[in-house]
């Protein structure tokens, strides 16, 4: 079986749900399946020909923004005739699908969340993304949904069934607090709330900041790519010197990141655009008490065992009353659910079955 994975910026991965998925599928499946991962030579600083048994093929187009549709389209068009199956991740290749519909039986698609709902896109871009999604669902042979809410959406919107496979989160490891971390980050000596996220508007960054800023509760620490967008730069400038919030740049050292988040008092999750978010299942695997934005998808991911908020006032109230909450019970339940549902070995086994099916 020769498989192409298309739609990510490539591997090895630093941040990104689809990139993490591609990397772990390679880790678990490359001994049994001949895998090629399409990568953007514009986005990856180092070009290597092979990674963990998978071949890497580079396309000289960026995977970001409007260029992403071109990058995905070129990659998909290149892969469809050369490989037995193509796993397409995302939405960008949708406009190619009507032209390669005779290869429909080869295509497995996972759209992730509902990207067209993200308010970082203009109204025109949202319509374009929605149309690309429609073509992908219509002309793909098999469909994977990463969340029950996405499964129901695909069924109700397009009348197609999908196979439900979530993400793993066991790459996140519990790490003891170190003296070095205490020295670099004095806030860890007391209770603190923690977030690791992409800094974009639909992840409710300002909502979460407003729940903590200028208060005497525990501080909020947000780790993210602040300098990668105008929204991030503007938001960081606005809140940088505010009391009770710490805005940290992206951390690419896994152990350093895990030390900070696995020792937090509360983990806050603000994603709103749908699907199963990798950072949320990572927090569950770490056994963290979670306060999550209420959008239906997050409730599905956590099996309604976390606590939920719809605005900054509700989040602020939950944080103010955290000492009266049964956090130990929540941690135990979320960790148990992660052990049962969000392990990469199990995820890879399910993908293996679909990839090798007719």
Instruction: Give the CATH number of the domain where residue 223 resides.
Output: 3.40.50.2000
90 belongs to a structural domain: yes
| Same domain (yes/no): 323, 197 | yes
- Per-residue pLDDT band for 15 (boundaries 50, 70, 90) equals low
Tens-place pLDDT, residues 61-86: 999 878 889 999 999 999 999 999 99
| Same domain (yes/no): 17, 59 | yes
| Same domain (yes/no): 351, 318 | no
| Same domain (yes/no): 277, 323 | yes
Dump the DSSP string for 74-139.
Answer: HHHHHHHTTSSEEEEESSTTGGGGGGGGGGGGGEEEE--S-GGG-TTS-HHHHHHHHHHHHHHHHH
Domain encompassing residue 12:
2-168+343-355
Q: What does the pLDDT read at residue 112? A: 87
Our separate counts of H helices and E strands in the chain read: 13, 14
pTM: 0.90
Tens-place pLDDT, residues 143-201: 999 999 899 999 999 999 999 999 999 999 999 999 999 999 999 999 999 999 999 99
Q: What does the pLDDT read at residue 100? A: 93
| Same domain (yes/no): 19, 85 | yes
Pairwise CA distance, residues 45 & 41, whole Å: 8
| Same domain (yes/no): 183, 326 | yes
Is residue 40 predicted with pLDDT exceeding 80? yes
Say how many residues make up the chain.
358
174 belongs to a structural domain: no
| Same domain (yes/no): 48, 148 | yes
Tens-place pLDDT, residues 282-313: 999 999 999 999 999 999 999 999 999 999 99
């Amino acid at each position: 079986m020769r498989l192409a994975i298309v739609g990510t910026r490539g591997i090895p991965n630093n941040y990104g749900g689809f990139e993490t998925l591609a990397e772990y599928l390679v880790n678990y499946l490359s001994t049994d399946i001949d895998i090629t991962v399409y990568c953007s030579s514009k986005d990856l600083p180092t070009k290597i020909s092979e990674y963990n048994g998978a071949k890497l093929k580079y396309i000289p187009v960026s995977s970001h923004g409007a260029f992403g549709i071109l990058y995905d389209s070129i990659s998909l068009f290149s892969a469809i005739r050369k490989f037995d199956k193509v796993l397409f991740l995302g939405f960008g290749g949708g406009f190619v699908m009507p032209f390669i519909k005779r290869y429909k039986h080869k295509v497995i698609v996972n759209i992730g969340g509902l990207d067209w709902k993200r308010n970082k896109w203009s109204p025109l871009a949202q319509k374009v993304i929605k149309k690309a999604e429609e073509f992908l669902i219509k002309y793909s042979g098999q469909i994977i949904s990463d969340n029950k809410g996405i499964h129901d959406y695909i069924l109700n919107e397009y009348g197609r069934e999908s196979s439900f496979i979530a993400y793993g989160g066991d790459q996140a490891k519990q790490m003891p607090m170190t003296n070095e971390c205490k020295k670099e980050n004095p806030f860890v000596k007391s209770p603190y709330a923690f977030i690791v996220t992409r800094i974009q508007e639909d992840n409710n960054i300002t909502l979460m900041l407003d729940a903590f800023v200028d208060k005497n509760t525990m501080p909020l620490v947000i780790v993210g790519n602040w300098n990668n967008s105008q929204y991030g730069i503007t938001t960081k400038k606005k809140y940088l010197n505010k009391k009770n919030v710490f805005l940290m740049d992206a951390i690419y050292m896994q152990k350093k990141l895990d030390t900070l988040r696995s020792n937090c008092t509360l983990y806050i999750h603000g994603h709103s655009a749908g699907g199963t978010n990798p950072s949320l299942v990572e927090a569950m695997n770490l056994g963290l008490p979670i306060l999550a934005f209420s959008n239906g998808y997050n409730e599905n991911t956590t099996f309604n065992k976390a606590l939920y908020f719809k605005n900054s006032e509700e989040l602020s109230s939950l944080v103010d009353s955290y000492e009266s909450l049964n956090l130990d019970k929540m941690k135990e339940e979320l960790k148990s659910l992660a052990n049962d549902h969000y392990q990469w070995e199990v995820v890879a086994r399910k993908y293996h079955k679909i990839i090798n099916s007719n």
